[in-house]
Amino acid sequence: MTTSEQNFLDVSPDTTSSGVSWDSIFAGAAAAAALSLILLILGVGLGFSAISPWSNKGVSATAIGLSSILWLTFTQIAASGIGGYLAGRLRIKWATVHTDEVYFRDTAHGFLAWAIAALAAAALLGSVVGNVVSSGVSASTTLVSTAVGAAGVTGAGAAANHTLPMMSSGSTRNSSASDGALGYMVDSLFRSDRPSADTAGNADSAAWLEAGRIFANGIRSNSLPLEDRQYLAQVIAKRTGLPPSDAEKRVSDVFNKALTAIANAEQNAKLTADRARKAAAYSALWMFVALLSGAFVASLAATFGGRQRDRVIHTGNRSA
């Protein structure tokens, strides 16, 4: 007696239709995105209420940063959990699908709901993420301009190059040339213990602007040439009545102060850029951890919701 094996093809609707319930996925994603928005607004409100512009008031920057990380992680876990649970609970029932396949589909439903919610949140709040990422880049690109601008080199050099031909010897110097720390230092070169009408209100703009150009050139080369130092000493001695040796010493002292001010400004700018870089890196890493936690929780919650959806409770009449 021979036996033959017959293979029967399962053509039930559960195996021939798509295994993705987009309605339930979009419902879970909408719920997750809405809850994320609500929790983020609540976090912003709590953050503004905790900080203060006054000294020794409110929480510290470290506490704010740690609280923001914890709140972002909590937001992702809570919103993703709700969205994943709804995606699993609201999907159709696969009556003839194997248990392992049901588990895989529920996990995929939760992950897709999280992915759509994350994309929607990124579209709505993309500027926030962009600001975090760009803060480290912009801080480094503006390092040189910040340092030089803080020392006043740009204002003095630009004014010296563009305003001198338009000014007469009796006019006052251009106000833009006096902006910044360098303008103040060049002013100090021409101070006199015996100010007169010629040196008090109507200072020689050409001499002042020439000194600014000489200082700007010396700062760019990080040293003041000997001939420039001697020339400035002669001009200052004539204008202020100082002895030539004292005038030359004043030039050297003021120039060294200018170099020190620029070095300090560059150092502060580097520290600021480094802190911004670290803050951007830490923020990106913790955002990654929070989003990864949300994806895991959404997938896990979807499997739990799917089991709740497929649970069958048998009831019967008990004999008395």
Q: Which two tokens stand for residue 275?
A: 């802190």
Lowest mean pLDDT of 13-27, 68-82, 186-200, 279-293, name the range.
Answer: 186-200
Tokens 């993703």 appear where? 80
HEC-encoded secondary structure of 35-102: HHHHHHHHHHHHHHHHCCCCCCCCCCHHHHHHHHHHHHHHHHHHHHHHHHHHHHHCCCCCCCCCHHHH
Residue 286 near residue 70 (C-beta atoms within 8 A)? no
Contact yes or no for 262/180 (Cβ under 8 A)? no
- Tokens for 318, please give them: 């008990």
Condensed to tens digits (0 to 9), the pLDDT of residues 211-233 reads 888 888 888 888 888 888 888 88
Compute CA distances 272 → 64, 137, 247, 276, 281, whole Å.
18, 12, 37, 6, 14
Q: What is the pLDDT of residue 140?
A: 46
pLDDT value of position 279: 82
Question: Going along 97-175, which residue ranges are E strands?
Answer: none
| Sequence-distant (≥ 6) Cβ neighbours of residue 39 within 8 angstroms | 71, 74, 75, 78, 79
Supply the DSSP string of 269-312, one letter for each residue. Answer: HHHHHHHHHHHHHHHHHHHHHHHHHHHHHHHHHHHHHHHHHH--
- Amino acid letter for position 23: D
User: CA 308, CA 102: separation in Å to the nearest integer?
Assistant: 12
CA distance 24 to 110: 10
Of 224, 256, 254, 225, which is closest to residue 242 (Cα–Cα)?
Answer: 254
Residue with tokens 């009449």: 317
**Mean pLDDT, residues 149-172 taken together:** 42
Q: What is the rounded average pLDDT of the residues 95-112?
A: 87
What is the chain's mean pLDDT, rounded? 73
More confident: 172 or 135: 135
pLDDT of residue 301 exceeding 90: yes
Taken as a whole, the chain contains a residue count of 320
d(CA 291, CA 36): 12
pLDDT (0 to 100) of residue 16: 55
pLDDT of 180 > 70? The answer is no
Assessment of whether the complete model's pTM goes beyond 0.85: no
pLDDT score recorded for residue 224: 85
Hey, which of 66-75, 77-86, 158-167, 242-251 has the most confident mean pLDDT?
Answer: 77-86
| pLDDT on residue 234 | 86
pLDDT at 226 (0 to 100): 86
CA-closest candidate to residue 31, choices 21, 42, 23: 23
Residue with tokens 């008395």: 320
Residue with the bigger pLDDT between 297 and 127: it is: 297
Please indicate whether residue 207 or residue 305 has the higher confidence score (pLDDT): 305
- Inter-CA distances, 155 with 94, 182, 307, Å: 74, 9, 71
Measured distance CA(243)–CA(235) in Å, rounded? 11
Q: Is the pLDDT of residue 148 over 60?
A: no
Report the range of poorest mean pLDDT among 25-39, 141-155, 260-274.
141-155
pLDDT at 272 over 80: yes
Task: Work out the pLDDT band at 200, boundaries 50, 70, 90.
Answer: very low
